[in-house]
Amino acid sequence: MARTSRRLRLVARLDQVGQATHWAMDLAENQGLGDALRFRIDLVLEEALTNIAKHAYDEGEPGFVEIAWQPGRNDGVILQICDWGHPFDPADFMPAAPAQDLASAQPGGLGIGLIRQFADQIDYARIGDRNRLTLMLKPESESPDAALPRQDATAVPQRRERASPSSASEYPLDALQQAQLLRGVPPDRIADLMHDCRRKTLCSGDYLIAQGQINHQVYIVLSGQLSVALLSDGSRVELALDAGECVGEMSVIDGKPASASVLAKTDAEVLAIPEEVFWSRLVTQPRVARNLMSMMSQRIRRQNAHELEILEQELRYLHLAKEIGVAHDIQMSMLPQPPLLDGHSTVDVDSLIQTAEVVGGDFYDTFSLDEERICLIVGDVSGKGIPAALFMMRVLTLLRTHIKKKRRLEKSLFKVNNLLRQNNPTHMFVTALIVVVDLTSGRATWVNAGHSEPVLLRSSASKANRVKPLRAPKGILLGVQANIEFKAARVSLRKQDTLMLYTDGVTEAENSTQEQFGEERLMDYLGSRPFDSATDLVRGVREQLNLFVNGAQASDDITLLALVFREPKRRRVTRRPKQSP
């Protein structure tokens, strides 16, 4: 299954902050970070995002915030938080001096101070039009999590035995009477039975028995807690053993090596009963034999219940994996398959979509409005997984339906945006670029709803001017705010001109050193050679991207859609009967 994405993009709004901290806590848990560090990550992220949600963007013009998670050195974490709002360097912000008393205290203004105190290192940079805040957090060395020794069942067993010899008077009768194995046996019998047994103390983390070890002792836990760790198929099952329980009897009974490792979870004390004593003096007692059998059957029951639980989990997982596969299939089947706009011989269109996760957020669409006009769309839905896939289907359907109504493109988008706002409790949104091309005149009309700008490749221009991003009023993303008026822009396509639409996964593709592909590299490549078809172009760009990322794991979907305007379509002339003069 797909790993949890290490990059999250949200609308910078207070009600989205919880989603981000939740996401970060999941990653922290996956990375096995301790409680104290997790609390600090939770806090600095909460404060940084609250600050951005409140101050980065002007009221009524919500923008994005993007968070990247990177495991740092020595179990630390590096959080990078970007927004495209007003420049803000936290170093310039002077937190108010702590108030002398409650009467003079000002509520609020504590967030930045908290970030400074709970992050180990803070770095701020203004890069182009965005703020980039980098927060580094390391585990505290004195935290109890760091102090605990790591327990690994495959490690060489270490023994620190103490106080081995003991006399009969030292037998802890009280503890033994409570032992499962000895239940119902009179105290004086126990003392007698225990002749030749040893007491053994263990420090937390010590091994009593290692998996695979030959064992000739049965142990009764007198105090503390032991843990039975079973490694099989790469998974680890742990069972706790408390005072009174016993361990080792299985390998003593069947003479096989220990089936699991047993180690001390806390400082503990056990009584070691040698094999001979177990056989000759313990099991021969009817009461003990009965206790032993009831212990064994309890253990089998426990094991069965556990296996049933694992089986259920596996079934649930398989079901989920299948469901995600279905969502992916449905999503892909919504997108038109090549050859695109096959009925229009005067244009050549091709696309490419590459999803980073099983169910991604990118999409494209191509369809005809009538014989002379075609529509091309590229977009990116917020979020991942099944909810994003379902939202995408809604977006695709709404766009197709409303653009086909042939009203002005701006009006169609106004309508679609308002419809997407409805029944959208999780605040999903979508960025999109929509182009309508009139095939007879070559006039392309487009609207940009918070998306990357399209690129125009002029066939006739000089090399320097051949490639241009089409700058135009960038509208707000769809689904966020009601009653947005979109502005359309226009450009005339001439013979052999090419239009390319793409998603930000292209320009933001990163190589292993976190460098982005960027718009400049894209433009340079597009200007570097002529392309003889839409297919040639999208494949060429993909090759460049693959060379650049060089095997680094993609964090976002990549979508390209290209149109080559071969020649204007001849208008079908309807002849009117000649009128006599």
Enumerate binding residues for another protein (CB under 8 A). 14-15, 17-18, 21, 35-36, 39, 42-43, 46-47, 50, 98-103, 105, 107-108, 110-111, 113-114, 117-118
Shortest distance in whole angstroms from residue 320 CB to another protein: 27
Q: What DSSP element (H or E) covers 241?
A: strand 235-241
Task: Name residue 61's amino acid.
Answer: E
Shortest distance in whole angstroms from residue 65 CB to another protein: 14
Cis peptide before 186 (omega within 30 of 0): no
Distance from C-alpha of 498 to C-alpha of 454, rounded to nearest angstrom: 10
Q: Would you give the distance in Å from CA 457 to the centre of its chain?
A: 37
Of 13 and 468, CB closest to another protein: 13
Which tokens go with 447?
């609207």
Query: Which residues partner with 71 through β-bridges?
Result: 77
Q: What DSSP element (H or E) covers 40?
A: helix 35-55
Cβ-based neighbour number of residue 499 at 10 Å:
24
Shortest distance in whole angstroms from residue 54 CB to another protein: 10
Shortest distance in whole angstroms from residue 102 CB to another protein: 5
Query: What DSSP letter does each residue of 313-327 carry, written as one string?
Result: HHHHHHHHHHHHHHH
Of 113 and 205, CB closest to another protein: 113
Distance from C-alpha of 42 to C-alpha of 36, rounded to nearest angstrom: 10
Of 40 and 569, CB closest to another protein: 40
Shortest distance in whole angstroms from residue 122 CB to another protein: 15
Look at strands 443-449 and 488-492 and give their pairing. antiparallel
SS3 46: helix
Distance from C-alpha of 108 to C-alpha of 130, rounded to nearest angstrom: 26
Of 34 and 172, CB closest to another protein: 34
Of 40 and 384, CB closest to another protein: 40
Of 44 and 292, CB closest to another protein: 44
Shortest distance in whole angstroms from residue 12 CB to another protein: 12
Shortest distance in whole angstroms from residue 427 CB to another protein: 13
Place of tokens 């053994």: 200
Tell me how far apart the 2 most distant CA atoms of the chain are, in Å: 137
Shortest distance in whole angstroms from residue 103 CB to another protein: 7
Closest C-alpha to 66, from 131, 150, 152: 131
Distance from C-alpha of 129 to C-alpha of 578, rounded to nearest angstrom: 63
Shortest distance in whole angstroms from residue 83 CB to another protein: 16
**86, 87, 90, 92: CA torsion to nearest 10:** -120
**Cβ neighbourhood burial of 322 (10 Å; 0-12, 13-18, 19+):** exposed
Shortest distance in whole angstroms from residue 79 CB to another protein: 15
Shortest distance in whole angstroms from residue 38 CB to another protein: 9
Of 77 and 197, CB closest to another protein: 77
Of 49 and 181, CB closest to another protein: 49
Of 63 and 379, CB closest to another protein: 63
Query: Which residues partner with 66 through β-bridges?
Result: 9, 82
Contact 492, 441 (CB under 8 A): yes
Of 49 and 229, CB closest to another protein: 49
Cβ-based neighbour number of residue 536 at 10 Å:
17
Look at strands 443-449 and 455-457 and give their pairing. unpaired
Of 8 and 252, CB closest to another protein: 8
Provide the terminal-to-terminal Cα distance of the chain, rounded to the nearest Å: 78
Of 92 and 101, CB closest to another protein: 101
Shortest distance in whole angstroms from residue 77 CB to another protein: 17
Query: Which residues partner with 262 through β-bridges?
Result: 209, 228
Closest C-alpha to 375, from 363, 388, 386, 366: 366
Cβ-based neighbour number of residue 162 at 10 Å:
10
Of 34 and 205, CB closest to another protein: 34
| Pure H helices in 236-356 | 249-254, 275-277, 286-334
Look at strands 347-354 and 558-565 and give their pairing. antiparallel
Distance from C-alpha of 49 to C-alpha of 82, rounded to nearest angstrom: 10
Task: Name residue 477's amino acid.
Answer: L
Of 286 and 425, CB closest to another protein: 425
Closest C-alpha to 379, from 328, 424, 335, 329: 335
Place of tokens 């007491």: 199
Shortest distance in whole angstroms from residue 282 CB to another protein: 47
Of 44 and 208, CB closest to another protein: 44
Closest C-alpha to 148, from 100, 217, 203: 203
